[in-house]
Amino acid sequence: MQSNKQELADNLAIKQTWRFIGRIGLYIGLCIWAFLQVFPLYWMITFSLKDNFEIFHQNPIGLPHVWRWENYSDVIENANMLTYFLNSVIVSVATIMVVIVFGLMATFALARMVWRGKDIANKFFMLGLAIPIHAALLPIFIVLRDLNLLNTHFALIVPYSAFAISMGILIFTGFISGIPKELEESACIDGCSIYGIFFRIIIPLMAPAVSVVTIFTYIQCWNELLFANTYVTAPQLKTLTAGIMALQGQYRTEWGPIGAGLTIATIPTLIIYFILSDKVQKSLVLGAVKG
């Protein structure tokens, strides 16, 4: 009897030891993963405060020996970075608004209404997910040229919105399917019109999904380069990605100011994620539960 107790105690001690080792291994893995995620941001910020010699030869990874804050002032004052920043904000905000407004309306019509051709319309929207955005570079260029929209903000807002709205509808559909129809039926019995149901019931309950679509659409617009560099060639209308690319010289490139421009372009993304991250995490959990 006593030997059995000793054997159970030994087995329990072994399990606790392996559990402790597993937990330590998990923490080590998470620390390595966190380092891999944070290091590119650290490296970008540090090389934005160096000159070329320190970046490539003297001190590629460490903290700057001389903190060259003039890289930021130089890229802001001499490289029209504020103009590029404003253009990116205009294009991104307009695209987000178009995707959210039309995406919500289309999702409500596809998920809650009965009308002829609904399945065809749904397949048409979902077809946008199967088409790579840059595969339509030349056809869109021809259309924009014929409409005299090249070198305008609409040259980017229109294609960005067209390709982002399919993903928006897909995300909105998953969330609106989890909203009980009884809420809409009760509102209809109380005399609420279809517009009242949409604006007073559906939209407030879709706030988490709107946060997800906002972040996905913003990242797509903010970081896109090929369309921005092809459809907009006027310096005063370039976005941040195209403007930063223009900082490269033909014979010599100062990488410190380029790092400063990249840092400036990254800050809004971090701010938006910190503001909306809680809603995004909750929305992902809700989506998993609904699935």
Mark whether 214 and 265 lie in a shared domain: yes
More confident residue, 117 or 92: 92
Task: Print the domain residue range for 28.
Answer: 2-37
Percent of the chain, pLDDT > 90? 26
Q: What does the pLDDT look like over 148-183, one tens digit per residue? A: 999 999 999 999 999 999 999 988 988 888 888 888
The answer to whether residue 96 sits within a structural domain is yes
The Cα–Cα gap between 62 and 64 comes to 6
Mark whether 22 and 138 lie in a shared domain: no
The Cα–Cα gap between 1 and 36 comes to 53
- pLDDT of residue 291 exceeding 90: no
The answer to whether residue 11 sits within a structural domain is yes
Mark whether 23 and 162 lie in a shared domain: no
Mean pLDDT confidence for 120-132: 85
Per the structure block, which two tokens stand in for 217? 């659409």
Mark whether 25 and 111 lie in a shared domain: no
The answer to whether residue 59 sits within a structural domain is no
Query: What was the pLDDT predicted at 284?
Result: 57
- Which residues, in sequence order, are CB contacts of 237 under 8 Å at separation 6+? 87, 151, 152, 153
Task: Please state, in angstroms and as integers, the Cα–Cα distance from residue 215 to each residue in 22, 97, 100, 269, following that order.
Answer: 35, 12, 11, 9
One-letter amino acid at 25 equals G
The answer to whether residue 68 sits within a structural domain is no
Model confidence at 103, in pLDDT bands (50, 70, 90)? very high
Model confidence at 188, in pLDDT bands (50, 70, 90)? confident
C-alpha torsion angle, residues 209, 127, 129, 288 (rounded to 10): 40
Look at 60-64, 88-92, 98-102, 215-219 and tell me which has the smallest mean pLDDT.
60-64
- pLDDT of residue 128 exceeding 90: no
Mark whether 96 and 10 lie in a shared domain: no
Query: What was the pLDDT predicted at 5?
Result: 62
The answer to whether residue 151 sits within a structural domain is yes
Query: What was the pLDDT predicted at 3?
Result: 62
Mark whether 14 and 101 lie in a shared domain: no
Look at 15-19, 144-148, 237-241, 284-288 and tell me which has the smallest mean pLDDT.
284-288
The Cα–Cα gap between 88 and 237 comes to 9
Mark whether 126 and 198 lie in a shared domain: yes
Query: What was the pLDDT predicted at 142?
Result: 93
The Cα–Cα gap between 231 and 151 comes to 6
* CATH number of the domain bearing residue 245: 1.10.3720.10
- Are the C-beta atoms of residues 46 and 210 closer than 8 Å to each other? no
Residues shown for the chain? 291
Mark whether 28 and 150 lie in a shared domain: no
Mark whether 9 and 105 lie in a shared domain: no
Mark whether 199 and 118 lie in a shared domain: yes
The answer to whether residue 180 sits within a structural domain is yes
- What count of other Cβ atoms lies within 10 Å of the Cβ of residue 92? 25
Give the chain's domain count.
Answer: 2
- Which residues, in sequence order, are CB contacts of 170 under 8 Å at separation 6+? 126, 129
Global pTM reads: 0.82
The answer to whether residue 132 sits within a structural domain is yes
- pLDDT of residue 279 exceeding 90: no
The answer to whether residue 204 sits within a structural domain is yes
Mark whether 282 and 150 lie in a shared domain: yes
Mark whether 33 and 129 lie in a shared domain: no
Q: What does the pLDDT look like over 76-95, one tens digit per residue? A: 888 788 899 999 999 999 99
Across the chain, mean pLDDT equals 85
